[in-house]
């Protein structure tokens, strides 16, 4: 079953101007777009702007969609560009085109070597832990964060992520590994303290 | 993980390994290294857990609030389709 069939809307109908089908497309994909925007911008108002602009542009350009990618990938691409545009406008000092030595597949070796996987789920996902998860992802550079969001949170493939970001697959893999290891270090420090606190109780 | 040569080279294939994208021979090589190296085992386990925590906590909780959805439909002139 294709993505559009499983979501209950028809691209053909949308392209011929059927508004009710476009409404179904919005409900099928708006959570994904809003989540991406919120994680990239960390601000509900900016995330709402990205959401609105993404679907406005999708509506204006739906006839240019040729079905060469999944419609969700096409929407993610629009949303990513919208989010990066807001970052450029608000913080021009951020270098979004930075070439992070992407072809040099090297990373910093892990420092935190504490096994915190044994912590119970209610502790791993307590409100304090969720705040820390958010802090950690916001501490990543924008160029690493967007790769982690698309690949690991939204579950896109390396190929889809590279198409959305106009990067080589090698560059996506390098950034993904750096993002994952960076988050692991951050969380290991946090959960390692939780583990220590539990052992003293 | 820091000093040993095998640990250093494993690090570069860590993402492919946790994503299950390595060929069988390579995978077995890494698994046999993990069986002997507690530090690398911890890195692999905590890396997998890090990814799953983000995926699960984000997908479950971050939804478009109802008022945001209403404004979205309004700005697209689709108010008549607001009721799902």
- The radius of gyration of chain A from alpha carbons, rounded to an integer in Å, stands at 19
pLDDT at position B1 is 45
Q: Is B1 in contact with A109 (Cβ distance < 8 A)?
A: yes
pLDDT at position A48 is 98
Show the domain range for B17: 2-59
Distance CA A113, CA B37 (A): 12
Q: Is the pLDDT of residue B28 over 70?
A: yes
Q: Where are the domains of chain A?
A: 3-90, 105-199
Q: Is B72 in contact with A52 (Cβ distance < 8 A)?
A: yes
- Residue A126 DSSP symbol: S
Q: Is B81 in contact with A188 (Cβ distance < 8 A)?
A: no
Kindly state the tokens that stand for B37.
Answer: 């190296």
Taking a C-beta distance cutoff of 8 angstroms, is the pair A30, A73 a contact?
A: no
The CATH fold assigned to A3-90 is Rna Polymerase Sigma Factor; Chain: A (1.10.1740)
Kindly state the tokens that stand for A158.
Answer: 């390396």
Q: How far is CA A41 from CA A27, A72, A143, A200, in A?
A: 22, 20, 13, 38
B67 is a domain residue? no
| A59-74 burial code (b ≥16 CB/10 A, e <16) | beebeeeeeebebbbb
B45 is a domain residue? yes
B76 is a domain residue? no
**A62 and B CB contact within 8 Å:** no
Q: Does domain A105-199 have CATH number 1.10.10.10?
A: yes
Going from the first residue of chain A to its last (201 residues), give the mean pLDDT of each consecutive group of 10, the final group possibly shorter.
73 95 96 96 97 98 94 97 96 74 70 94 94 96 96 96 95 94 97 91 78
Is the ipTM here above 0.95? no
Residue predicted with more confidence, B73 or A7: B73
B30 is a domain residue? yes
The pTM assigned to this predicted structure is 0.93
Q: Is the pLDDT of residue B2 over 50?
A: no
Q: Is B55 in contact with A124 (Cβ distance < 8 A)?
A: no
Kindly state the tokens that stand for A151.
Answer: 């690949």
Only one residue has tokens 């964060």, namely A145
Nearest-neighbour CA in chain B from A131: distance (Å): 11
Q: What is the mean pLDDT of residues B24-30?
A: 92
| B60-81 burial code (b ≥16 CB/10 A, e <16) | eebebeeebbeebbeebebeeb
The mean pLDDT value of chain B amounts to: 90
The number of domains in chain B is 1
**B57 and A CB contact within 8 Å:** yes
pLDDT at position A2 is 66
B74 is a domain residue? no
């Amino acid at each position: 079953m294709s993505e559009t069939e499983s979501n209950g809307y028809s691209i053909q109908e949308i392209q011929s101007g059927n508004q009710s089908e476009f409404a179904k497309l919005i409900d099928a994909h708006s959570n994904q777009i809003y989540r991406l925007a919120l994680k990239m911008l960390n601000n509900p108002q900016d995330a709402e702007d990205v959401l609105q602009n993404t679907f406005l542009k999708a509506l204006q350009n739906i006839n240019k969609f040729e079905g060469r990618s999944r419609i969700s990938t096409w929407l993610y691409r629009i949303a990513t560009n919208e989010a990066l545009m807001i970052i450029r406008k608000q913080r021009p000092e951020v270098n979004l085109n930075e070439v992070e030595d992407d072809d040099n597949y090297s990373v910093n070796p892990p420092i935190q070597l504490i096994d915190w996987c044994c912590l119970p789920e209610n502790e791993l996902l307590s409100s304090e832990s969720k705040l820390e998860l958010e802090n950690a992802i916001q501490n990543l550079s924008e160029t690493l964060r967007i790769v982690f969001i698309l690949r690991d949170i939204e579950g896109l493939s390396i190929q889809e992520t590279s198409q959305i970001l106009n990067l080589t697959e090698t560059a996506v893999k390098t950034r993904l590994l750096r993002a994952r290891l960076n988050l692991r270090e951050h969380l290991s420090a946090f959960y390692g303290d939780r583990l220590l606190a539990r052992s003293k109780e | 993980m820091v000093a040993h040569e095998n640990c250093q080279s494993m690090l570069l294939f860590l993402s492919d390994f946790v994503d299950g994208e390595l060929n069988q021979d390579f995978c077995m090589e890494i698994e046999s290294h993990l069986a002997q190296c507690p530090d690398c085992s911890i890195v692999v386990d905590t890396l997998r857990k890090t990814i799953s925590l983000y995926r699960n906590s984000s997908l479950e909780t971050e939804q478009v609030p109802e008022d945001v959805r209403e404004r979205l439909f309004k700005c697209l002139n689709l108010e008549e389709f607001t009721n799902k």
